[in-house]
Amino acid sequence: MKKILWSFFEVVETVVIAVAAVVLVRMFVMQPFVVSGASMEPTFYDGNYLLVDEVTYQFRSPERGEVIVFKYPGDHKSFYIKRIIGLPGEKIILKDGKISVFSGGGGEIALNESYLGKGVTNGSFNLELGENEYFVLGDNRNFSFDSRSWGSLSQEEIIGVVRLRLWPISGLDTFAPPNYEN
């Protein structure tokens, strides 16, 4: 009887440790996210299952080109996925379908956005980003509700950076920011 009780205790202990580990990882390290909508096509499609890294931004600031998940500034219960285009202190100008990014020193930063499908970026925009503010756009510019509509995104609203697509299996992939220098 004592041996059966001890075995039962070991099974319970293993289950408790496993559940605690999963909960801690999900709360503080990686979070699942399911894409809803077409705003990030052709990079991500509706129904893609992603893993979002919540730790990286505890050690460094977000970088241009990274795809992030964040709380929508107008309703913190809604979560969005977009790509960072403008960084704190930069000026963003959208005119005639072309996005121009100017650094604090005044130099223009060229964006080679090879991840975009065909078409141009609609709208007209001129915004200077403050400290801890970012300008984000969807990759499917004609069908994206983004910074062109609601302005800058505060760093506090960013949940994390997309690192991995798990679903569909045929689309399993890791993600890094594009190299805008080419």
Domain 33-174 architecture: Ribbon (2.10)
Residue environment code for 155-182, b if the CB has 16+ CB neighbours within 10 A, otherwise e: eebbbbbbbebeeeeeeeeebeebeeee
* Structure tokens given for 13: 């202990």
**What was the pLDDT predicted at 20?**
64
pLDDT by 10s per residue, the chain, length 182: 777 777 777 777 777 666 666 665 555 556 777 777 778 888 888 889 888 888 888 888 899 889 998 888 878 788 888 999 988 988 888 877 778 888 877 677 777 777 776 666 777 788 888 899 999 988 888 888 888 888 888 888 998 888 878 877 776 667 777 776 64
Catalytic residues: 39, 82
